[in-house]
């Protein structure tokens, strides 16, 4: 029954092919995709670029998760099916409405194998239908897929939170604040693969929300996607285009993986005043780094605990009408900057109703 809830009509598989004339074409799709989505998919496949990226990538547009597996065809081997004779590379794009890169990476690579071996789209369709109906299929030597063997919780924890903390050191507290206060976060990296690896770990800092839907792991700069991004409100968006650095209207905080720097946009500076609470939290994070006995899960749990403490404290600060205002916080003579932080947290957690 669970699979049925997850599957919707928008779940589709599509194939983009780049032929020997460097012409990229949507050659097959089931059941259907709209024009916008097709354009976004095309941007993500990297087929139109000179250098085709063969890494598995995942991204999100509107409410659709996009999983892409690209295969290049080696024409020197003689076992290519007739229909792929003129194709240089193809991308299998899977769109789903939930986050699970591991599952769909596996599915996409099996489908790629099938398509490369047979060149027959109806075979892919069969696989797709089997997944929907039975949650599994087996195509012998080409691979075996079992839907239930991929737990989403494992996907959540796929990247070690400790690695991310280690990567940024003390600046990790800025990232934590941004996530806790629900700010707009932009991650930039030259390499897609490291971008995806880091960005999927960011929601771990606010595990109590269990919300991976704020991720936009891989966004290209074009009107379509930027517009979608802006309409989302808050997000964690990943970019590989360096011109994002100059678009500080799009982020409150910019994480640059290439230079390992975190910068705050000029007009949100006063939102990021750090106090003793942050210091404690940072110490907690850095200490658990050095302690091998503290696992990722334990660290996440610890962060969760701290957050809960904070929230219960906030609960106690509520006014009589059940609201928390900046003025009321300021009147309690909290340390400098703390009132702003608490107010932001209260807003982010919806304590203000």
Partner 1 sequence: MHIHLSEIEDNTTIKDLDTDLLYKCILAYLKVINENKVTNLTSTLPKNMSSRVNSWSLIANLIKDLGYRADLSFHNLLYPNINDTRRILIFLGQNLPKKEIDQTGSGGASTVKIEDQICLYLQGCIKESWMPYFCPFSKRVPGNYSTARLFTTQEVKIPFRGRQLKVTPGLEEYFTHFLPPITNQPNRFDDLAPSVFEYNLSIYAEAQERDLEWKRKGSASGLNPIEYKKQKLKNVLNKMNDSIRTSMMESGGMSEGSRGGRLESLSELISDFRGYSEDSEGQFSRKKDFTNELSNQSTVAVPAAAESTETEEERQAKRQAEIDRLQEQLNQLSQKISSFARDMENFAQQMRQQEALGNEQDQQREGLEKAYKIKKKTFSLLDDAEGNTKELQALCNQTSANILEMSGEWEKVRKPIIEKYRSLKDRANNEADEAKSKLDRIKEMRALIRKLVEEVQQKEELFQQLQQAYKEAPKDANRSIYTLRILETVKNIKKQKVDIDKVLLDTKNLQKDINSITDTAVRTFDLVKDLLYNDAKKDPIAKQAIKSFAVIDEKFQKLFKVIDETGSFQNNVLTLESKIDYITVKTNTLNSDRIVNDLKNVKTENQNLIKTIKSKMQQE
Closest CA relative to residue 267, chosen from 287, 253, 278, 255? 253
Least Å distance between CB 183 and partner 1?
A: 8
Site residues (CB under 8 A) for partner 1, limited to 90-129: 97, 120-122, 125-126, 129
For the CA atoms of 221, 227, 228, 232, the dihedral, rounded to the nearest 10 degrees, stands at 110
Among 254, 299, 344, 345, binds partner 1 (CB under 8 A): 344
The answer to whether residue 28 forms part of the interface with partner 1 (CB under 8 A) is: yes
The answer to whether residue 211 forms part of the interface with partner 1 (CB under 8 A) is: yes
What is the pattern of x (binds partner 1, CB under 8 A) and - over residues 165-204?
-----------------xxx--------------------
Nearest 5°: the CA angle 193, 30, 143 is 55
CB nearer partner 1, residue 119 or residue 302: 119
CB nearer partner 1, residue 23 or residue 315: 23
Among 79, 266, 316, 336, binds partner 1 (CB under 8 A): 266
Among 231, 259, 312, 336, binds partner 1 (CB under 8 A): 231
Least Å distance between CB 292 and partner 1?
A: 37
Least Å distance between CB 215 and partner 1?
A: 12
Among 50, 74, 223, 249, binds partner 1 (CB under 8 A): 249
Least Å distance between CB 231 and partner 1?
A: 8
CB nearer partner 1, residue 269 or residue 301: 269
Using CB under 8 A, which of the segments 141-149, 198-206, 239-247, 297-305 binds partner 1? 239-247
Closest CA relative to residue 31, chosen from 121, 99, 113, 142? 121
Q: How far apart are CA 124 and CA 142, in angstroms?
A: 12
CA distances from 339 to 148, 281, 313, 329 (A): 46, 17, 13, 5
Q: How far apart are CA 150 and CA 100, in angstroms?
A: 8
Site residues (CB under 8 A) for partner 1, limited to 284-323: none
> Cα–chain-centroid distance for residue 248?
20
CB nearer partner 1, residue 8 or residue 148: 8
Among 214, 219, 303, 351, binds partner 1 (CB under 8 A): 214
The answer to whether residue 39 forms part of the interface with partner 1 (CB under 8 A) is: no
Closest CA relative to residue 192, chosen from 73, 59, 72? 59
334 by Cβ neighbours in 10 Å (0-12 / 13-18 / 19+) ranks as middle
Structure tokens at 227: 């517009």
Q: Are 110 and 139 in contact (CB under 8 A)?
A: yes
The per-residue DSSP string of 310-321 comes to HHHHHHHT--TT
Least Å distance between CB 35 and partner 1?
A: 19
Using CB under 8 A, which of the segments 22-30, 146-154, 280-288, 307-315 binds partner 1? 22-30
Nearest 5°: the CA angle 61, 66, 68 is 140
- Is the Cα dihedral 231, 237, 238, 244 positive or negative? positive
Closest CA relative to residue 168, chosen from 291, 264, 262? 262
Beta strands in 245-286 (DSSP E): 253-256, 261-264
Least Å distance between CB 302 and partner 1?
A: 25
The answer to whether residue 350 forms part of the interface with partner 1 (CB under 8 A) is: yes
Nearest 5°: the CA angle 311, 316, 322 is 95
Tokens 């003129």 belong to: 86
CB nearer partner 1, residue 162 or residue 183: 183
Binding site for partner 1 (CB under 8 A): 4-5, 8, 19, 21, 23, 25, 27-28, 30, 63, 83, 86, 97, 120-122, 125-126, 129, 133, 182-184, 211, 213-214, 231-235, 243, 245-246, 248-249, 266-268, 270-271, 326, 343-344, 347-348, 350
């Amino acid at each position: 029954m669970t699979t049925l809830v997850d599957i919707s009509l928008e779940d589709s598989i599509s194939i983009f092919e780049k032929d020997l004339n460097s012409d990229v074409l949507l050659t097959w799709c089931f059941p259907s995709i709209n024009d916008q989505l097709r354009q976004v998919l095309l941007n993500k496949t990297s087929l139109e670029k000179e250098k085709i990226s063969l890494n598995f990538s995942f991204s999100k547009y509107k409410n659709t998760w996009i999983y892409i597996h690209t295969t290049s065809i080696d024409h020197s081997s003689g076992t290519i099916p007739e229909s792929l004779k003129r194709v240089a590379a193809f991308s299998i794009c899977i769109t789903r409405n939930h986050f699970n890169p591991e599952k769909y990476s596996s599915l996409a690579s099996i489908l790629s194998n099938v398509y490369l071996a047979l060149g027959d789209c109806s075979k892919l369709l069969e696989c797709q239908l089997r997944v929907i109906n039975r949650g599994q299929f087996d195509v012998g030597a080409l691979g075996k897929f079992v839907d239930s063997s991929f737990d989403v919780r494992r996907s959540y924890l796929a990247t070690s939170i400790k690695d991310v903390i280690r990567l940024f050191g003390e600046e990790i507290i800025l990232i934590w604040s941004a996530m806790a206060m629900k700010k707009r976060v932009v991650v930039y990296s030259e390499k897609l693969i490291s971008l995806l690896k880091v960005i999927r770990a960011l929601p771990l800092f606010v595990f109590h929300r269990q919300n991976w839907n704020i991720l936009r792991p891989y966004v290209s700069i074009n009107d379509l996607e930027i517009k979608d991004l802006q309409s989302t409100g808050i997000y964690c968006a990943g970019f590989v285009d360096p011109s994002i650095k100059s678009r500080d209207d799009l982020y409150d905080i910019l994480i640059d993986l290439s230079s390992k720097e975190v910068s705050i946009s000029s007009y949100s500076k006063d939102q990021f005043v750090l106090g003793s609470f942050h210091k404690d939290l940072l110490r907690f994070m850095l200490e658990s780094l050095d302690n091998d006995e503290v696992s990722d899960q334990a660290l996440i749990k610890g962060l969760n605990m701290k957050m809960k403490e904070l929230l219960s404290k906030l609960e106690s600060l509520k006014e009589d009408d059940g609201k928390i205002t900046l003025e009321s916080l300021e009147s309690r003579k909290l340390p400098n900057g703390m009132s702003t932080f608490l107010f932001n947290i209260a807003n982010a957690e919806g304590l203000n109703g």
